[in-house]
Amino acid sequence: MNDPPTFETLKLSLAGSTLTVRLSRPGCANAVNLQMLTDLVALADWLRDQPGVAFMILTHDGDVFAAGADLAELRAVLDLDDAQRRHRVRSMQMLAQEMMRKIENLQQVTFAALEGSAYGAGMAIAMATDFRIMSNQAQFVLPETTLGMFLTYGCTPRLVAAAGLSRAKRMIMWAKPLTAAQGADWGLVDEVVSPSTAVATAQRMIDELERTDLRAIRLTKQMANAAAMAAVGDVMVTEPDLVEAVLGDGRIAGRLDEFLNRKR
């Protein structure tokens, strides 16, 4: 087995058949930028050729799983001329969709272990894993509509599939925090645990799976994913164009400025 690669925004550690991956952008609450998307795609490509790695735990450094998309990076894109801006926002969306597809379709069984809250793009990344374990002090938050945007990364159909149509609309439109307990009730969280135990809980679940037939587990994942994603294709194809239409004209720049200035 090859040694785990080194990434700018991820920290990797391998123990037996389990790879632990930590989102790590110190100082910006693990906000999801282009480099993190690129690193996650490269991670998935590396894992494709690692048959000795059967499981992955995706967790984080710091108090927050991920503070959504890096809005400062997005704000800089909005200052480009019209053609460049439209190209960049569309290509960013396509990269995000590639990341989601590759994480979701890994041959490894994947767990998101959230000790802290996940916002927007951070929740999308967690939704791409097979199972989510969440501290009872953490929350899911989707703030996109407050910024004049909609939920992207191909996460809306995944949220609808997991929580149901009405609940998905409610969560996105109202942009109110969802507790871990509510997340479990809505089918978004598999285990709610006490603080500082999410990774250990994921490892316990892995220990149980390792006593079964791993080939059967892998095939089950592939079949279940194929069934769940059967109706998602059209949305995934059109979403980059929708993002280009919403972000490409630059009209949300004022909302982003207001939000970023409020954080300072």
- pLDDT beyond 60 at 264: no
Question: What is residue 228's three-state secondary structure?
Answer: helix
∠ Cα 171 173 175 (to 5°): 60
User: Dihedral of CA 80/84/86/90: which sign?
Assistant: negative
What are the residues facing 20 on neighbouring strands?
A: 13, 57
Q: What mean pLDDT, rounded, does the chain reach?
A: 90
Alpha-carbon span 140 to 38, nearest angstrom: 23
Nearest Cα residue to 173 out of 162, 183, 165: 165
Q: Map tokens 């998309």 to a residue.
A: 69
The sheet that has 191-193: what strands, in order across it? 10-15, 18-23, 55-60, 109-114, 131-135, 191-193
Q: Which domains, from first to last, does the chain contain?
A: 10-263 (3.90.226.10)
Nearest to 175 by CA among 146, 150, 212: 146
| 129-144 mean pLDDT | 97
Residue at 88: amino acid letter: R
How confident is the model over 26-76, as pLDDT tens digits?
Answer: 899 999 999 999 999 999 999 999 999 999 999 999 999 999 999 889 888
Enumerate long-range contacts of 250-255, CB under 8 Å, 24 or more apart: 250/78, 250/82, 250/85, 251/148, 252/78, 252/147, 252/148, 252/149, 253/75, 253/78, 253/79, 255/146, 255/147, 255/148
pTM assigned to the model: 0.90
